């Protein structure tokens, strides 16, 4: 299971999706080398860089210099940072600018940014001329290990997050591990919750490795590349089995049903709770709920929470500033989550660390009781 390394010392994770297969390249210097990489893989294509104002300011110039150096025509399209950018009006603006720059069907939309930019730009790439070229350059840890892999793209609706979008696979993902050095610690930690998730789903060895080596992941270098590559490989394997989420892929939602409810209950206010923090608490809840149902040893729930706590992630409802309301409010938020199928509650539960499974018939009354206990914890 050592990752394939290419001549430049990059780790390559292939995503096997028949004629939509593509590579994820992970490592140092990928922004600087982007021009050469794209010129080789997609000769003659123009590029629309979609980025947010924050990331564009820090990493845009290096990328543009690299593209110019390789003789690639490029244009920068800048959106505001933040979740609110994932909406129709901004999508329309991005689409309009791509067309205004006269990009053709074979040209490339390149997402330079976190999950917000990747989801939005990917959706734009999917719908302009019914599908253009698409390259992901994820710049947040969450985007590198999660949102850039698997082809889910989209925007939010007032009825819920990510309710509008397309399955649209990129032609290439370039995950430059150096760019994560400019990410805030809080955002890095939030992405780390998703890294830990892959261990919790089905890779207890990886979870144990993280318990020992997490400092190296935060610091950069080989451990970071290893953690990102392992995460991408895990997600790629699930996606290859179930591209459009009709089955297995739901495992990736470990911690997300509770997590989304917490995001909704905090009105998606990133100052109070960012997505990865919601996932961290949500995963702890999935394990505590599993323990309560007698599915999993209580010690496993304690152990996984202790690791998340060690890296500085929240693990309890009480850590959310301003609170999340009462049981009714949380239940309503859970009921609105899109993973509720035809009235029954679906949760990802666990029999232990690395032994998660899809539970499709969870009794709402048991969830209520569990949430009441959670709210009563200090």
- Would you name the residues annotated as active-site residues? 130, 152, 194, 235, 245, 249, 253, 256, 260, 275
d(CA 48, CA 169): 17
Task: Find the binding residues for ligand NAD in span 47-66 (CB under 6 A).
Answer: 52, 54-55, 58
Task: Find the binding residues for its own copies in span 16-75 (CB under 8 A).
Answer: none
Q: Which residue from 255, 233, 224, 240 is spatially nearest to 141, judged by alpha carbons?
A: 224
Task: Find the binding residues for its own copies in span 161-190 (CB under 8 A).
Answer: 163-167
Choose among its own copies, ligand NAD, none what residue 58 binds, the Cβ cut-off being 5 to 8 Å by kind. Answer: ligand NAD
d(CA 22, CA 36): 18
d(CA 226, CA 11): 9
- The SS3 of residue 359 is strand
139 is in an annotated binding site: yes
For the window 93-112, what string marks contact with its own copies as x by the rule CB under 8 A? --xx--xx---x--------
Applying CB under 8 A, among 92, 248, 326, 373 the residue interacting with its own copies is: 92
Choose among its own copies, ligand NAD, none what residue 86 binds, the Cβ cut-off being 5 to 8 Å by kind. Answer: ligand NAD
Min dist CB 343 to its own copies, Å, is 10
Beta strand 22-27 pairing with 11-15: antiparallel
Choose among its own copies, ligand NAD, none what residue 150 binds, the Cβ cut-off being 5 to 8 Å by kind. Answer: ligand NAD
Q: Tell the burial category of 86 from Cβ atoms under 10 Å away from its Cβ (0-12, 13-18, 19+).
A: buried
60 is in an annotated binding site: no
Dihedral, CA of residue 187, residue 189, residue 190 and residue 196, to nearest 10: 150
Q: Which residues pair with 14 in a beta bridge?
A: 23
Residue 93 burial (CB count, 10 A): 14
Q: Which residues of the shown chain bind ligand NAD in the complex (CB under 6 A)?
A: 52, 54-55, 58, 81-83, 86, 113-117, 119, 139-140, 142-143, 146-147, 150, 152, 161-162, 179-180, 182-183, 187, 190, 275
Give the annotated binding-site residues for Zn(2+).
194, 256, 275
């Amino acid at each position: 299971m050592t990752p394939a390394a290419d001549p430049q010392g990059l780790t390559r994770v292939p995503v096997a999706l028949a004629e939509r297969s593509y590579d994820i390249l992970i490592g140092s210097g990928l922004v600087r080398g982007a021009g050469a990489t794209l010129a080789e893989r997609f000769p003659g294509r123009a590029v629309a860089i979609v980025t947010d104002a924050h990331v564009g300011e820090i990493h845009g110039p290096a990328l543009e210099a690299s593209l110019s150096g390789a003789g690639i025509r490029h244009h920068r399209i800048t959106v505001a940072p933040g979740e609110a950018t994932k909406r129709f009006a901004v999508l329309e603006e991005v689409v309009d600018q791509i067309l205004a720059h006269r990009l053709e069907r074979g040209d490339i939309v390149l997402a330079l940014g976190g999950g917000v930019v990747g989801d939005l730009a990917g959706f734009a790439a999917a719908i302009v001329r019914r599908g253009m070229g698409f390259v992901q350059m994820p710049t947040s840890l969450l985007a590198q290990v999660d949102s850039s892999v698997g082809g889910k793209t989209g925007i939010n609706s007032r009825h819920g997050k990510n309710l509008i979008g397309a399955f649209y696979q990129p032609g290439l993902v370039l995950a430059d591990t150096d760019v994560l050095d400019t990410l805030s610690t809080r955002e890095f930690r939030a992405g780390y919750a998703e890294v830990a998730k892959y261990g919790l789903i089905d890779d207890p060895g990886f979870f144990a490795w993280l318990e020992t080596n997490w400092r190296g992941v935060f610091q950069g270098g080989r451990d970071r590349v290893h953690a990102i590559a392992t995460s991408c490989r895990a997600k790629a394997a699930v996606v290859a089995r179930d591209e459009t989420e009709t089955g297995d892929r739901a495992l990736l939602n470990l911690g997300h049903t509770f997590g989304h409810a917490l995001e909704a209950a905090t009105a998606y206010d990133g100052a109070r709770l960012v997505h990865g923090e919601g996932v961290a608490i949500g995963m702890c809840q999935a394990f505590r709920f599993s323990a309560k149902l007698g599915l999993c040893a209580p010690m496993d729930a304690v152990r996984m929470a202790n690791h998340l706590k060690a890296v500085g992630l929240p693990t309890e409802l009480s850590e959310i500033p301003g609170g999340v309301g009462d049981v009714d409010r949380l239940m309503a938020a859970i009921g609105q989550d899109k993973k509720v199928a035809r009235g029954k509650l679906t949760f990802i539960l666990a029999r232990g660390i690395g032994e998660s499974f899809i539970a499709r018939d969870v009794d709402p009354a048991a969830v209520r009781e569990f949430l009441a206990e959670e709210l009563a914890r200090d």
